[in-house]
Amino acid sequence: MARPLPTVRTRPLDPPTELGRLRAEHPISRLAYPDGHLGWLVTGHAAARAILADPAFSARSELQRRPVGDGPREPAGPGIFINMDAPDHTRYRRLITGQFTVRRMRELEPRIEQITAESLDAMERHGPPLDLVESFALPIPSLVICELLGVPSRERERFQRDTAVIASLDATAEQARSATADLARYLHELVLRKRADPADDLISDLTSGGELNDEELTGVAVMLLIAGHETTAGMLSLGTLALLSDPSQQARLRADPSLTGNAVEELLRYLSIIHLGPTRTAVQDIELYGVRIAAGETVTISLPAANRDPGRFPDPDELDLTRATAGHLAFGHGIHQCIGQQLARVELRVGLNALLRRFPTLRLAVTQEDIGFRTDSITYGVRSLPVTWHLGEAT
């Protein structure tokens, strides 16, 4: 019998146990969508990879049902290529990938270090206890994305006000819509200014290429901002929580900073913060793993379930910062695989490393039971993360 998507977690950093039970039965099961649609849920790692790489499955938003909640099914606006298929997707993706160059990421790294150090300085000045989401996890990706897009520092306040509303779970749908509209207006103005007066940033480079019109460029900027902001912030706060909750793994990382790169990959796998998707819709009848998926049926790929598949990762529920993590799906797979993954990796490496070094006695200021987890948005995370440390011990 088809059931709704399991979302109840018994342990906050582990996916719902029901997902594991379903995966043990079959990697693809029937899923009842809230609007009455009868579709599919993918919990096995190999099946998830196969579907994400298969052009028989479309990412177009107007074809999709949502696995939780409801909402209008509208075609993607200009530039929002995460919800497009080839060849539209290919055209945008090629242009934007050209902007996420090794050179640009390398140049950004010292700025990321500086932004991180400034956040930690502010934490030290404030003193314990404080909310790590507000002081560390949100400002770092927000300032980095401003840097990447070329938002002038004097204008960051407006920009950050809007992004704070969009990222906040306390905002009403109307507030979030109005903040998104304001952001789009702002980014549109920015595009026009970059066209007239280009600098060394991503938007300027895209304007000078001449291949995207203003609406498309604004759409790309809005998407980069929304896709790159909350996700990285979620990983910074949940990653810290996972380390604070596991003293032996934390000690291992503190003793050997060269582990940081692998630790970040393992945290990405273990936490799989994109937890209610991605979703795809079959555009033709297709048979996979003995299951016949009909054209028009929506498939939800559970990244947390796939990344905890014991057939792919031995002892998958163990956080093991030294394990082989290759093949994890936290950034997706196939043509839509995360375009900002290298940037996110640098932010996570620099951020987590600097936080642990600066505050050797960092610990939770509340018990794990008192932490509010956000389960209803595409990105799993915490609403706030109260932390404390011994005064005078920051290095």
The residues binding ligand HEM (CB under 6 A) are 59, 81-82, 93, 223-224, 227-228, 231-232, 235, 273-274, 278, 330-332, 336, 338-340, 343-344
Type of residue at 271: L
Query: Taking the complex as a whole, how short is the minimal distance between the CB of residue 272 and ligand HEM, in angstroms?
Result: 8
Query: Taking the complex as a whole, how short is the minimal distance between the CB of residue 1 and ligand HEM, in angstroms?
Result: 28
Which of residues 268 and 394 has its CB atom nearest to ligand HEM in the complex? 268
Distance set, CA 308 to CA 28, 176, 270 (Å): 15, 33, 7
Which of residues 74 and 370 has its CB atom nearest to ligand HEM in the complex? 74
Which of residues 128 and 163 has its CB atom nearest to ligand HEM in the complex? 163
User: Per-residue b/e over 64-93, b at no fewer than 16 CB within 10 Å?
Assistant: bbbbbeeeeeeebebbbbbbbbeeebeebb
Backbone angles phi, psi at 60, to 5 degrees: -65, 130
Q: Please report where in the chains the tokens 């920051």 appear, as a residue.
A: 394
Q: Please report where in the chains the tokens 């990959």 appear, as a residue.
A: 265
Which of residues 9 and 336 has its CB atom nearest to ligand HEM in the complex? 336
Query: Taking the complex as a whole, how short is the minimal distance between the CB of residue 370 and ligand HEM, in angstroms?
Result: 25
Query: Taking the complex as a whole, how short is the minimal distance between the CB of residue 388 and ligand HEM, in angstroms?
Result: 26
Query: Taking the complex as a whole, how short is the minimal distance between the CB of residue 148 and ligand HEM, in angstroms?
Result: 6
Contact 128, 391 (CB under 8 A): yes
Contact 56, 283 (CB under 8 A): yes
Query: Taking the complex as a whole, how short is the minimal distance between the CB of residue 222 and ligand HEM, in angstroms?
Result: 10
Give the Cα separation of 272 and 242 in Å (integer). 12
The Cβ of residue 169 has, within 10 Å, a number of other Cβ atoms equal to 12
In the complex, residue closest to ligand HEM by CB: 340
Which of residues 250 and 300 has its CB atom nearest to ligand HEM in the complex? 300
Contact 305, 2 (CB under 8 A): no
Give the Cα separation of 345 and 172 in Å (integer). 31
Which of residues 231 and 250 has its CB atom nearest to ligand HEM in the complex? 231
